[in-house]
């Protein structure tokens, strides 16, 4: 396993574009901390974002994992190109001839994806933990370490998304087209939802079905955290709106994403096995 | 003799096209093999199958008597097929390091092999800056990193300039001299003739011949003769039982032997007949002539 990761590391780290993207990704993850510095004054109203409760435990776990997940596109580019470049440089052929099995090839890519997700999760944990300790109004241990399921959801979300990218890289073989396909797929999911609700089934069933589609399932894992903010809630109350979103991470949402992940890994392997290079 | 590769009734179809048809042959340790055949005769496909990059339709193959899985066997093989494939953004040394990791061999031999192919002074240049000849030499260095049991080369001189072709051939000869088993696929016959002891000849996916180079045609060679009195010579040769076909081209007579005959013997016999020669050469058919003969026979 270490050998497979080392192989992937040599390939990635010697590629300048990948290296820059990976570094900027982690710099951006750290930069969530900069949000704390947002402060402005409009006349008599002083606004300091850090005082709005966004860094309170356990809400911070929710907020930070949601924001951090937005940056995943950077790594998606790296992952799609690390897969499709093997095709365009024909190095996949040479790898196999040199004695890497097809199984090992897919495994080395998947292990890299898991490592990326794991390192990101640890990163987000540390950044949030430090921010929380600095700004949170609550500092009892039981509160600090509650709602950690958001970190698990974040990890699963990244693994699922990156595995999808991996699969697209193998399927399409060209990085630009694979990324295009990713965007196209996001739109297709919405179209499927629209068609189902409009013509075939009730809107409720349609949105349940939509929840099973890969990208939607991944985004459902962590619901947007903004409407949970006190300020937003009170504004909503004033205009007579009730915000009734389910913010919890549900086990079945995690299962759905894990199923997609398994399917994508399997399909990547099946595709590679079937193809003549 | 230790078997390195056994291929049994191998077939490969690409849709309707039968690229390899019921092919069987054996590669034994210590020999230098050539796979010959025109373009599209299934050479690369066959190599692709035994190298794990093309799926077979039917048949079997086994490396080292089938004692290990294919991908583990390939760690003991060095192979280059068609174009050299490396990571363009990595230097020669970085690429070879990666190959060492895949083959699970220590990276202590990198400098030695780069030296062998004459790329040591360019070891820290990116692969993308290499000329085709240099890329091909790097591929050979990479294939040799594990001191392979067998070196497989598919059209190693394709697309190279004369100097590059010469360099690659010198390297192949050097490696062959060290006793490494080599399998060389090529449509360039003189290339194979210069280094190979055994050949497998393919045409349209079928095997025409497999065995020693000199056993390819049951031939005793031929004489090339020239004299002032051409008619007399032709008359004598035509009556002689040892000769088959006799051809004349620009006064040069080519007489194909049906049985063994020494050049001295012929010279003496002709002199006794009053025929003096200005030119006498005994030759074996070149591989090219034998190959054309063989593929022609099969076509009829």
pLDDT beyond 80 at A26: yes
Three-state secondary structure of chain A:
CHHHHHHHHHHHHCCHHHHHHHHHHHHHHHHHHHHHHCEEEECCEEEEHHHHCCCCCCHHHHHHHHHHHHCHHHHHHHHHHHHHHHHHCCHHHHHHHCCCCHHHHHHHHHHHHHHHHHHHHHHHHHHHHHHHHHHCCCCCHHHHCCCCHHHHHHHHHHHHHHHHHHHHHHHHCCHHHHHHHHHHHHHHHHHHHHHHHHHHCCHHHHHHHHCCCHHHHHHHHCCCCHHHCHHHHHHHHHCCCCCCCCCCCCHHHHHHHHHHHHHHHHHHHHHHHHCCC
Residue B217 has a pLDDT of: 65
Residues B245, B171, single domain; the answer is no
pLDDT confidence bin for A231, thresholds 50/70/90:
low
Indicate if B211 and B228 belong to the same structural domain: no
**Chain B contact for A238, CB < 8 A?**
no
Co-location of B115 and B239 in the same domain: no
B11 and B107 part of one domain: yes
Interatomic CA distance for residues A252 and A75, integer angstroms:
26
Q: Is residue B300 part of a domain?
A: no
- B68 and B33 within one domain: yes
Residue carrying the six token digits 């698990």? A152
- pLDDT band for B297, please (50, 70, 90 cuts): low
| Residues spanned by the domain of B265 | 222-283
**Are B85 and A99 within 8 A, CB to CB?**
no
Q: Say whether both B119 and B181 belong to one domain.
A: yes
Task: Let me know whether B236 and B211 are in one domain.
Answer: no
The tens digit of pLDDT for each residue in A104-129 reads 999 999 999 999 999 999 999 999 98
The pLDDT score that the predictor gives to residue A1 is: 85
End-to-end CA distance of chain A: 25
Q: Is B54 in Cβ contact with A16 (below 8 Å)?
A: no
B64 with B165, same domain? Answer: yes
For B91, which DSSP code?
Answer: B
pLDDT band at residue A244 under the 50/70/90 scheme: low
Token pair for residue B269?
């016999």
Distance from CA of A1 to the nearest CA of B (A): 12
Whether B218 shows a pLDDT value over 70: the answer reads no
Residue A189 or A244, more confident = A189
- Please check the confidence at residue A4 and state whether its pLDDT lies above 80: yes
Residues B20 and B89 in one domain: yes
Segment A197-222 mean pLDDT = 88
Q: A128 is in which domain, residue-wise?
A: 2-39+47-274
Q: Which of B215, B247, B267 is the last residue of a domain?
A: B215
Q: Are residues B119 and B228 in the same domain?
A: no
B215, B238, B263 - which closes a domain: B215
Min distance B207 CA to chain A CA atoms (Å): 22
pLDDT digits (tens, 9 = 90+) for B234-287: 888 888 888 888 888 888 888 888 888 888 988 998 888 888 888 998 887 777
Q: Is residue B162 part of a domain?
A: yes
Does the pLDDT at position B214 exceed 60? yes
3-state SS class at B26: strand
Predicted pLDDT at A10: 93
Nearest CA-CA partner of B49 in B87, B85, B23, B75? B23
- Whether residue B269 sits in one domain with residue B172: no
Q: Which of A93, A98, A102 sits opposite B99 (nearest CB)?
A: A98
pLDDT-derived band at B298 (thresholds 50, 70, 90) equals: low
Check whether residue B239 and residue B130 sit in a common domain. Answer: no
At residue B241, the pLDDT reads: 83
Which residue among A14, A99, A273 sits closest to B94, beta carbon to beta carbon? A14
CATH number at residue B158: 3.40.50.300
Cβ distance A3 to B104 less than 8 Å, yes or no, reads: yes
**CATH no. for residue B275?**
3.30.70
Mean pLDDT over residues A143-154, rounded? 89
Residue that is last in its domain, among B170, B193, B215: B215
| Contact residues on chain A for B87, CB-CB shorter than 8 A | 11, 14-15, 89, 91
Listing DSSP states for B214-248 in one string gives GGSS----EEEEEES-HHHHHHHHHH-TTEEEEEE
B268 in a structural domain = yes
Overall domain count for chain A: 1
**What is the total count of domains within chain B?**
2
Interface check for A246 against chain B (CB to CB < 8 A): the answer is no
In a domain, B299, yes or no: no
- Does residue B296 lie within any of the structural domains? no
In this structure, of A174-183, A187-196, B38-47, the range with the lowest mean pLDDT score is B38-47
Q: In sequence order, what are the beta bridge partners of B77?
A: B150
Q: What's the mean pLDDT in A25-29?
A: 90
Residues of B in contact with A100 (CB under 8 A): 71, 102
Q: Work out how many CB contacts closer than 8 A connect A with B.
A: 81
Say whether B101 and A3 touch across the interface (CB within 8 A). Answer: yes
pLDDT for B13 equals 92
């Amino acid at each position: 396993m270490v050998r497979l990761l080392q192989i992937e590391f040599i390939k990635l780290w010697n590629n300048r574009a990948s290296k820059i993207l990976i570094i900027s990704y982690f710099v951006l993850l750290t930069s969530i901390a900069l949000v704390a510095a947002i402060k402005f004054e409009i006349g008599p109203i002083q606004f300091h974002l850090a005082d709005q409760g966004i860094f309170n435990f356990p809400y911070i776990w929710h907020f930070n994992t949601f924001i951090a997940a937005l940056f995943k596109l950077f790594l998606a580019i790296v992952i799609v190109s690390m897969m499709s470049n093997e095709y365009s440089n024909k190095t996949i052929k040479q790898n196999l001839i040199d004695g890497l099995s097809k199984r090992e090839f897919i495994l080395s890519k998947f292990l890299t994806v898991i490592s990326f997700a794991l390192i990101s999760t640890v990163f987000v944990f540390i950044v949030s933990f430090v921010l929380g300790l600095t700004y949170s109004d609550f500092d009892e241990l039981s509160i600090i370490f509650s709602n950690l399921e958001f970190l698990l959801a974040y990890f699963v979300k990244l693994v699922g998304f990156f595995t999808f990218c991996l699969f697209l890289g193998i399927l399409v073989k060209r990085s630009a087209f694979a990324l295009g396909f990713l965007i196209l797929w996001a739109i297709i999911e919405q179209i499927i939802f629209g068609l189902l609700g409009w013509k075939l089934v009730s809107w409720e069933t349609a949105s349940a079905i939509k929840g099973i589609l890969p990208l939607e399932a991944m985004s459902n894992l962590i619901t947007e955290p903004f409407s949970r903010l006190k300020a937003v809630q009170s504004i909503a109350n004033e205009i007579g709106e009730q915000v009734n979103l389910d913010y919890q991470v549900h086990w079945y949402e995690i299962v759905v994403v894990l199923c997609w992940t398994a399917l994508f890994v399997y399909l990547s392997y099946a595709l590679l096995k079937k193809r003549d290079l | 003799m230790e078997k390195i590769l056994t291929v049994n009734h191998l077939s490969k179809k690409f849709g309707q096209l039968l690229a390899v048809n019921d092919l069987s042959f054996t590669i034994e340790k210590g020999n230098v093999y050539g796979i010959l055949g025109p373009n599209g005769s299934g050479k690369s496909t066959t190599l692709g199958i035994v190298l794990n990059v093309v799926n077979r339709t039917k048949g079997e193959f086994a490396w080292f008597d089938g004692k290990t899985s294919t991908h583990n066997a390939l760690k003991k093989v060095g192979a280059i097929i068609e174009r050299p494939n490396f990571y363009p953004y990595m230097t020669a040394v970085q690429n070879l390091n990666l190959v060492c990791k895949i083959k699970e061999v220590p990276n202590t031999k990198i400098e030695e092999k780069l030296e062998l192919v004459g790329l040591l002074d360019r070891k820290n240049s990116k692969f993308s800056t290499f000329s085709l000849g240099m890329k091909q030499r790097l591929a050979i260095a990479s294939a040799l990193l594990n001191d392979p049991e067998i070196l497989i080369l598919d059209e190693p001189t394709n697309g190279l300039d004369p100097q590059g072709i010469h360099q690659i051939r010198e390297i192949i000869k050097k490696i062959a001299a060290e006793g490494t088993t080599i399998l060389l696929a090529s449509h360039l016959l003189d290339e194979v003739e210069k280094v190979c002891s055994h050949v497998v000849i393919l045409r349209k996916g079928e095997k025409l011949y497999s065995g020693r180079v000199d056993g390819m045609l049951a031939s005793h060679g031929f004489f090339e003769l020239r004299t002032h009195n051409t008619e007399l010579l032709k008359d004598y040769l035509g009556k002689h039982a040892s000769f088959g076909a006799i051809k004349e081209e620009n006064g040069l007579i080519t007489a194909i032997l049906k049985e063994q005959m020494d050049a001295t013997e012929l010279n003496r016999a002709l002199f006794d007949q009053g025929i003096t020669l200005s030119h006498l050469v005994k030759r074996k058919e070149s591989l090219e002539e034998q190959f054309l003969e063989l593929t022609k026979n099969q076509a009829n």
